[in-house]
Amino acid sequence: MDKTETPQSRTILSSHHWNAFYLLSALSTLVISLTVAIQPLFLDEVLAISFEQSGTINAHIQVVTQLIGLALVVLYTAQKTIFNRRIPLLLVGFATAALGTFLIPFSKDIELILGLEGLIFYYIMRVMVAMGTDTVQLQITTLAGDVSTRQSTFSLLPNTVFMMVLGGAILTAIFIQIPVSDGRVDRFMWIPFIAAMAGLLLTRYQLPKRIPLLKSGKDYFERVWDMITNDPRMQLCFAASFYVRADMIVVSLFLSLWCISFADMVGVTRDYAVGRAGIMLGVMGLMTLIAMPFWKQYMLHRSRIGAIGISLAITGLGFLSLGMMKNPMSWLVFIPVMIIGIGQAGCLVAPKVLALELAPKDLLGSVQGLFHLVSGLGVVLLVQSGGYYFDAVGPRTPFILIGSGNLFMMVYALWLIISGLDENAEHQLINKNKRKIDLKPLIFMMALLPLIWLVGRVLISGYVPGSSLGEMPVGFINRYLGDWAFNFLIISLGLRPLYEITGIRKLAKYSRMIGLYAFFYAVLHVLTYVWLEWVFHWDKIFEDIHERSFIILGVIAFCILIVLAITSTRDMVRRLGFPKWKRIHNTVYLVNILIMFHFIFAAKHENGEPYVYAAIVLLLLGYRYHQHLNKKAASQPVALELGE
C-alpha cells in the first residue's frame, strides 16, 4: 500500500473520480451500442450481404464477437483473481475498441487487399470492439463495487446505470440519425471511434493510476458460490441479469432489421428506417431514465423480490406487445417501446442494488463482474435464437422470444414468494416453509426456456401456413432443437474444467441434470426429423440419410446418448461398478466430436458459427486431455517406486 493510502482511500473515490467513472460508463456503452445499431445498415450497404439471411448473420456476428470477447476478457483478467481490477485494463479496453472501430469502415477494401472472403475481417474488428468494451464495462462495474461504501451503494450504482442508459440509448438514438442525412454509413463509424478515444484520454488523465484490490482470501470462489446458492434473492438477481443486456441489444439490433425490412414497402430509404429505429431506442432509454427514481423508492419500501418480478413482467408484456405490431413505422409502436423502457429501469437497477446489499464488502466488485459475465451469456444465447427466428419465421418473432423469457423469469419470482421465500419489512430473507435452498429449481427453469420459447411461438403463430405472424417452418424447429441439444452438451462438458479450476466441487452434482437436458433436446430433435419432417416415411428417411451422409454422425451420437441416459442413475452405477460405468460415460467425449462434425457439415458456413462451436469443443477436450496427461505423469514416479 502506498504511504499516502488509507483504508478509506481504498474504498472511496473523490467526486471528481466518480464523475469520470460515470462518463466512462456512458462512453463505453455508446461505443458498442452505436456499433451494434449501425451494423445491419453497414452489412447491407457496404458489405452487401443477402437480406434474406440478415437476421441470422447479424445475430451470429453479435454472438460470435460477444462469445470471443468475453472469453478473452476472462482469460486476461483471471490471471491473479477472477476479476483483476486495474486502471491499465481500462486503457487497454478503450484502445482495443478504438482500433476496431477505426478499421471497420475499411473492411471491404482490406479484405480485397488480403484476398479474404466473406466477413472475416469484419468479424475480427467486431471482436476487437466487443473485447474492448467488455473489458471496460467489466472493470467499471467491478471497480464501482470495490470503491463504494455500503451507504453509497444505493445512490452510486443507479447513477452508473443511468449513464450507461444515457450512452446506450439516448446518445445512440441521437447519433444514429446522422446516416439519414449523410448517406455514407461507413463514415458513421468515426463517431464510436472518437468516443473510444475520448474514453482512453479520460482514463489516462482523470483517474488514479491504480486502485488496489480488496483481498478476498483463498476461499474466494467457494464464498461466491455459497452466497449465490444459499440465497434465492441472489439467484433471482442473476436470472434477471441474464436478460438485461440482451433486452437492450435485441431492441437495438432487431428493431433496425425490422425497420429496414419494411423500408421498401412504405417507400423510405433504409438509412431513414435505421434512424426511425434509433428514435424508438431513444424513447425507450428516456422512459428508463424517467422510471428509475420510482423503482428506487419501490425498493426502499417494498419487497426486492417483488420489484424484480414486477419489472420483468412489465418488460415481458412490452416485448410481447411489440411482437404483435404489424408496422414498425407506425406511431403505435412507441407504446410497447415505452412499456419496455419502464420495465427495463427496474431490471437494470433492482438486481444490481440488491446483490450489492447482500454481498460481503470484499466481494462487491466481483459480484458486479459476475453480473457482467452472466448478462454476456444471455446476449449469446438470446440473440442467437432471435436471429434464427427473424429469418425463419418473421421479423417480429425475436421480440416474442425475449418477452416470453422475461415473463418466465417473472414466474420464478412469483414462485419464490408463493413457496414462502420473501423479505420482511427490514428486507431480511424469510423462509416460512423451511424449504431447502439450492440452484436446481432455477437450473430446471432456465433449461426449459428454449422449449417454452418454441412452444409459445408455435401456439401464437400456429404450425400452419397463413398465420398472421408467419409460419413456423419444420426445418427451423429441427435446427433449433438440435442447436440446443449441442449447447447443453457443451455446458455439461465445460462443468468439469470449471469446478477443477475454481475448486467448487459442488458444481459436479448438476452435471447429470444438464446432460439429461442435452438428451431431452436431442430426443425432440430426432422426433422432429422423423415425425414432423418425414412423417415416419422410413424409405424417404433412409434416402435422405444416403444423400446427406452427415446425418449418420448424428444417429451414432444419439445412440450413444441413449446408453448414457439409461446408465446415468445411481442404481446403474452400483450395478455396473464405477470403473465400468466410468468407461461407458467417457464416450461423451466421442459424442461431442461426432456432433461437432455433424454440425459443421449440416450448417451454412457464411457466419462462422460451426467453427466457433468446434473451437469451443476442441478447447474443452484439449483441457481434458491435458489433465489426463498430467495425472498420468504424476502417477509414473509412484509406479516406479513400487516396482523397485
Residue 234 shares a structural domain with residue 330:
yes
Which of the 8 DSSP states describes residue 359? S
Residue 582 shares a structural domain with residue 467:
no
620 belongs to a structural domain: yes
| Average pLDDT over every residue of 91-98 | 91
| DSSP count for the chain of H helices, then E strands | 27, 2
Helix, strand, coil percentages, rounded to 5, for the chain: 80, 0, 20
Q: How far is CA 247 from the centre of its chain?
A: 10
Distance, CA of 441 to CA of 484 (rounded, Å): 19
Number of structural domains in the chain = 2
Distance, CA of 350 to CA of 241 (rounded, Å): 10
Residue 140 shares a structural domain with residue 74:
yes
Residue 79 shares a structural domain with residue 165:
yes
Residue 545 shares a structural domain with residue 456:
no
Which of the 8 DSSP states describes residue 118? T
Q: What is the pLDDT of residues 426-481, one digit of tens each?
A: 667 777 767 777 788 888 888 888 888 777 666 665 554 444 444 567 887 888 89
Can you list the alpha helix ranges (DSSP code H) found in 87-189? Answer: 87-103, 107-114, 120-147, 153-165, 172-175, 178-182, 185-188
71 belongs to a structural domain: yes
> What is the SS3 assignment for 467?
coil
Give the residue, 569 or 640, on which the prediction is more confident. 569
Q: Indicate which CATH number applies to the domain containing 373.
A: 1.20.1250.20
Handedness of CA 269, 270, 271, 275 (dihedral sign): positive
Residues found in the chain: 644
Mean pLDDT over each residue of the chain, to the nearest integer: 79
Give the residue, 605 or 334, on which the prediction is more confident. 334
pLDDT > 70 fraction of the chain, expressed in percent and rounded:
82
Q: What is the pLDDT of residues 42-56, one digit of tens each?
A: 888 777 777 667 777
Reported pTM: 0.77
Query: Do residues 470 and 393 make contact, with C-beta atoms less than 8 angstroms apart?
Result: yes
Query: Do residues 534 and 541 make contact, with C-beta atoms less than 8 angstroms apart?
Result: yes
Q: What is the pLDDT of residues 477-499, one digit of tens each?
A: 888 899 889 989 998 888 888 77
Burial (Cβ within 10 Å: 0-12, 13-18, ≥19) of residue 531: exposed
Neighbours of 74 (CB within 10 A): 16
- Which of 144-148, 234-238, 396-400, 586-590 tops mean pLDDT? 586-590
Query: Do residues 416 and 231 make contact, with C-beta atoms less than 8 angstroms apart?
Result: no
pLDDT of the residue at 82? 42
151 belongs to a structural domain: yes
Task: For residue 18, report the phi and psi dihedrals to the nearest 5 degrees.
Answer: -65, -40
pLDDT of the residue at 69? 65
Distance, CA of 644 to CA of 629 (rounded, Å): 23
| Average pLDDT over every residue of 590-609 | 81
375 belongs to a structural domain: yes
337 belongs to a structural domain: yes
Distance, CA of 245 to CA of 230 (rounded, Å): 25
> What is the SS3 assignment for 423?
strand
Residue 562 shares a structural domain with residue 462:
no
Residue 466 shares a structural domain with residue 562:
no
Q: What is the pLDDT of residues 613-623, one digit of tens each?
A: 888 899 889 88
Residue 558 shares a structural domain with residue 416:
no
Asked whether residue 412 carries a pLDDT value surpassing 90, the answer given is no
485 belongs to a structural domain: no
Q: What is the pLDDT of residues 131-190, one digit of tens each?
A: 888 888 877 777 766 666 655 655 666 777 778 888 888 888 888 877 655 556 777 788
Which of the 8 DSSP states describes residue 510? G
Neighbours of 73 (CB within 10 A): 27
Residue 258 host element (H or E): helix 232-266
Confidence of residue 85 (pLDDT cuts 50, 70, 90): low
Confidence of residue 21 (pLDDT cuts 50, 70, 90): confident
Residue 90 shares a structural domain with residue 187:
yes
Cα separations (Å) of 639 from 579, 626, 635? 20, 20, 6
C-alpha cell at 601: 457439415
Q: What is the pLDDT of residues 197-214, one digit of tens each?
A: 999 999 888 877 666 555
Neighbours of 480 (CB within 10 A): 24
506 belongs to a structural domain: no
| Average pLDDT over every residue of 81-107 | 79
Residue 283 shares a structural domain with residue 357:
yes
Cα separations (Å) of 174 from 164, 171, 262? 15, 5, 22
Task: For residue 289, report the phi and psi dihedrals to the nearest 5 degrees.
Answer: -65, -40
Strand partners, 430: 422
Domain enclosing residue 563, as ranges = 529-643
Residue 167 shares a structural domain with residue 59:
yes
137 belongs to a structural domain: yes
Residue 20 host element (H or E): helix 15-45
Residue 463 shares a structural domain with residue 587:
no
Confidence of residue 86 (pLDDT cuts 50, 70, 90): low
Phi/psi region, residue 337 (left: phi>0; alpha: psi -120 to 50; beta: rest), is alpha
